[in-house]
Amino acid sequence: MATKDKYIYGLGRRKAATARARLYKGKGEITINDKPALEYLSGDKSKLAEITDPLALAQKQKDYDITIKVSGGGLAGQVDAIKLAISKALTTDAPDLRPVLKKAGFVKRDPREKERKKYGLRSARKKEQFSKR
């Protein structure tokens, strides 16, 4: 797929994960980090279905071959980053899809990230146990 020259690009982030998606005209193959999507997601079909939700909503599952480079974070964060990247790429290609994808909540980035640990505390907010005596 890397030999094809025309593609649509989308970038998605979630927690510590970053996904870069390229959509090529094709027949619906998805590769993540040079592996088939189902193999990368360790056989979890529900996660694969979550990744293809924007395509299903736009009814374009069989229109694009997708290559994804994803790094950082865990599998759940990576799945959400991939979903956002695919949604952004679809809206770049067909701006008329944006209201549909936006209503479904696929275009919005989830801003929640891990809070840093502060000095003097056990974790981000947990304090030492108070001892009265």
- How far is it, in rounded angstroms, from Cα 51 to Cα 82? 6
Whether residue 119 is contained in a domain is answered as no
Domain that holds residue 71: 8-104
pLDDT reported for residue 133? 86
Look at residue 1 and tell me whether its pLDDT is greater than 90: no
* 68 domain residue, yes or no: yes
Share of the chain above pLDDT 90, in %: 84
pLDDT band at 3 (very low <50, low <70, confident <90, very high): low
Residue 61: the pLDDT is: 87
Q: For residue range 30-65, what is the model confidence (pLDDT) as tens digits?
A: 999 999 999 999 988 999 999 999 999 998 889 999
Q: What domain count does the chain have?
A: 1
Task: Give me the CATH number covering residue 33.
Answer: 3.30.230.10
Residue 121 located in a structural domain: no
Asked whether residue 55 is domain-assigned, the answer is yes
Q: How high is the pLDDT of residue 98? A: 93
- Does residue 1 belong to any structural domain of this protein? no
Structural domain includes residue 117: no
Question: What is the rounded end-to-end Cα distance, in angstroms, of the chain?
Answer: 69
pLDDT tens across 65-94, in order?
999 999 999 999 999 999 999 999 999 989
In a domain, 91, yes or no: yes
What span, in angstroms and rounded, lies between the C-alpha atoms of 43 and 40? 8
Residue 127 lies in a domain: no
Is pTM beyond 0.85? Reply is yes
Residue 93 has what pLDDT?
87
